[in-house]
Homo-oligomer: A and B are copies of this chain.
């Protein structure tokens, strides 16, 4: 199984954080998960609230586990909140269904992991995640 290497994960995180600084976003936190939903790397900027790991993780975890990025999860939560509540039941409450959870695909279109960003608005979080993903030569689906 192809996957996200630690070098790629570092590139994703650094590029996402730099894009946040460039746009003067609030302090960001960025997690990279592998194709099995397991943590590969994470960084939380100085000044971010202490609980941001769990939010970043929850955005990325739902994306990998469902094969559905944050925007699609949010749409489902808006139309069928009981479905996303049930999803959280089976996944132990670990899913945060809003933009900022980005599915990462390789050149064949296979999902090889996910990126979760939190700290600013959900849309800005998602944009930073995509910037990071593309810096590593990968495709991010918001």
Contacts and interface: CB of A to CB of B under 8 A. Distances in A.
Contact of A2 (B1, B34, B36): B1
A135 interface: no
Contact of A49 (B10, B65, B90): B65
Copy number in the complex reads: 4
B58 A35 contact: no
B95 A82 contact: no
Contact of A38 (B6, B10, B51, B89): B51
B98 A89 contact: no
A85 to B, nearest CB: 7
A8 to B, nearest CB: 10
22 contacts: A1-B3, A6-B45, A34-B36, A35-B35, A35-B50, A36-B38, A37-B38, A39-B44, A40-B43, A41-B42, A41-B44, A42-B42, A49-B64, A50-B65, A51-B65, A51-B66, A80-B98, A81-B81, A82-B84, A86-B96, A92-B92, A92-B93
Interface of A: 1-3, 5-6, 9-10, 34-46, 48-51, 53-55, 57-58, 64-68, 77-78, 80-98, 110-112
